[in-house]
Structure 1
Amino acid sequence: MTIVVTAATGHLGRLALAELLRKGVPANEIVAGGRSLEKLQEFADSGVRVQVVDYDRPETLKAAFEGADRVLFISGGEVGRRIPQHKNVIDAAKAANVELIAYTGFANIDRTTAKLASEHLATEAALKASGLPVVLLRHGWYLENYTEQIPGYLERGAVAGAAGSGRISAATRADFAAADVEALLSSKGGEVFEMGGDESFTLSELAAEVSSQTGKEVSYLDLPTDDFRAALESAGLPAPFADVLADCDRAIRDGEFVVDTGDLSRLLNRPTTSLAEAIKAAL
């Protein structure tokens, strides 16, 4: 079997490669694709085949997918450009007649109103229209979206947001990557996995946990959506990205980021990493 991991230079892709190797998949049966081969050197040194994969360059996808059996299709990171990029991936996979394509999408996509979901919804429709055997790996929010900001929380003494008392079923990238690999290796196609952390939390609870573990007072500053968007822009985020993030908090407030299926922990065959564990590891 030949397994291709796209976007393998990103956080999730690197974790997925490591998980494939941990599970005993022979390195020479894995193709790691990314824009920069230098960033994949450690995997090349382990015997993994590395190839340039650029979602904007169909010829790189054609070369990477030649002879591929299964593809872990990690969604692109360029919001606003993903629909044509993802179409290139799907077209290349169809041309290569891959046995299975597993796509890392967005949780609750059938009901969420979050702007961030629209490109994932279009991708799922394109995958369905392709006729390929597909597994949908719908990811909830990453805990790293918060734990990577802990230094800022401590500096400001606050977690700022616009999520109100909405709850978030977040999990670590490592949890998602391990579940993605399990589904990629074991699925026959047609499955939909709605994945989120076992224990949901509010941003107030996030702030309280950071306070508890650091001994420094951190509170939750709840802002109107427009004010939070403006704060993100003033912090240096491009306006379109700030708008998407502020809208995600609005969706959290409206209850759209709760995932209670248990799919993630079932794929892992263990509980998901908790908020407290993730904060402890980050500290």
Structure 2
Amino acid sequence: MYAVTGATGHLGRLVIAALLRTVQAAEIAALVRDPEKASDLVARGIEVREADYSRPETLGPVLSGVDKLLLISSNAVGRRVPQHKAVIDAAKGAGVKLIAYTSLLHADTSLLGLAEEHRQTEGLLKASGVPYVLLRNGWYTENYTASIPAALQYGAVLGSAGNGRIASAGRGDYGDAAAAVLTAGEDQDGRTYELAGDEAYTLAEFAAELSHQTGKSILFQNLAETEYKAVLLNAGLPEPIAAMLAQSDVAASKGALFDQSHQLSKLIGRRTTSLRETIRAALRG
């Protein structure tokens, strides 16, 4: 039995879709906070189990009978460590045989502010005694294509990444990788995968590709961290998220989102989705 936490999120749904290519629906449990959002999964024959990271009492029973668990990191930045600990403790109590955790690219050395909670979670996994595998995901290209409407409106891609090269990949690539690890025949215990796209680009190159596909002149405007944070706040983002994104861009300028090991494409057996393809898909809507 395979279980996926956060199964109604963007990544969770993609992992389940990838699992269904090789695994029967009856062998998959979707762990979700709100079962009403998972009716489509139920329709596909997948067992939906209510589980909430912040309610530890819900976790033990829903992990009963689970062999391999994908722990998709919580989106509650600042509260992730206790939430993840609750899942790890429950998995240990339920006898789960493998936990795959979606960590962060080069989490052990990363300059990204986001890395600390991932480092702590990795430490919890190591101390738990439960077999585990780390999926250190790089940036999703969709993190940047989400800003395309604003870029088209104002004629500029804004950020603080300077000339830093970003080896991102499509969210679906990471979903395929998680499914590949969960279903692998080889023992995965103790492995660490540094997952990033085959293609790296600067935000200036991102803007150039967007210009090429739309026929509009889109420039990259590099901002100081405080300026970029202010832009994000003005766009309506909560302060912690705006601060996190601005700091992440600055870290990207120093190489925090770059990797050329090609472990992701090796794991999924194909090249990762190109920047061109992801921009094209975003423009199609």
Q: What TM-score do the two structures reach when normalised by structure 1?
A: 0.97
- Secondary structure of 1:267's counterpart equals helix
Measure how far apart 1:234 and its partner are. 1.8
Q: Match of 1:144?
A: 142
Which amino acid is 1:130 matched to?
Answer: S
Measure how far apart 1:28 and its partner are. 0.9
C-alpha separation in 1, matches of 2:163 and 2:213: 21
After superposition, residues 136-175 of structure 1 pair within 5 angstroms as: 136-175=134-173
Q: Match of 1:91?
A: 89
CA offsets, 1:225-264, max 9 Å, x none? 1111121112211212111111101110011110111110
C-alpha separation in 2, matches of 1:271 and 1:241: 31
C-alpha separation in 1, matches of 2:175 and 2:8: 13
Q: Match of 2:10?
A: 11
Which amino acid is 1:87 matched to?
Answer: K
CA offsets, 1:191-244, max 9 Å, x none? 100000001000000000000000011100100111111211122112121111
C-alpha separation in 2, matches of 1:5 and 1:127: 17
Q: Match of 2:223?
A: 223
Contact 2:53–2:84 under 8 Å retained in 1: yes
C-alpha separation in 2, matches of 1:238 and 1:47: 37
Which amino acid is 2:118 matched to?
Answer: H
After superposition, residues 1-283 of structure 1 pair within 5 angstroms as: 2-23=1-22, 25-186=23-184, 187-188=186-187, 189-283=189-283
- Secondary structure of 2:194's counterpart equals strand
Contact 1:171–1:197 under 8 Å retained in 2: yes
C-alpha separation in 1, matches of 2:24 and 2:58: 23
Measure how far apart 1:174 and its partner are. 0.4
C-alpha separation in 1, matches of 2:241 and 2:277: 29
Contact 1:195–1:264 under 8 Å retained in 2: yes
C-alpha separation in 2, matches of 1:106 and 1:163: 18
C-alpha separation in 2, matches of 1:275 and 1:9: 25
C-alpha separation in 1, matches of 2:269 and 2:43: 30
C-alpha separation in 1, matches of 2:119 and 2:178: 19
CA offsets, 1:34-76, max 9 Å, x none? 1111221111111110011110111221121111100011000
Percent identity, aligned pairs only?
A: 50
C-alpha separation in 2, matches of 1:282 and 1:228: 23
Which amino acid is 1:251 matched to?
Answer: A
Which amino acid is 1:47 matched to?
Answer: G
C-alpha separation in 2, matches of 1:147 and 1:226: 22
C-alpha separation in 1, matches of 2:145 and 2:161: 17
Contact 1:4–1:64 under 8 Å retained in 2: no
Contact 1:158–1:218 under 8 Å retained in 2: yes
Which amino acid is 2:230 matched to?
Answer: A
Which amino acid is 1:198 matched to?
Answer: D
Moved over 4 A (4+): none
Measure how far apart 1:29 and its partner are. 1.0
CA offsets, 1:4-26, max 9 Å, x none? 10000100000111111122x11
- Secondary structure of 1:22's counterpart equals coil
Contact 2:108–2:115 under 8 Å retained in 1: no
Which amino acid is 1:17 matched to?
Answer: I
Which amino acid is 1:165 matched to?
Answer: N
Measure how far apart 1:154 and its partner are. 0.3
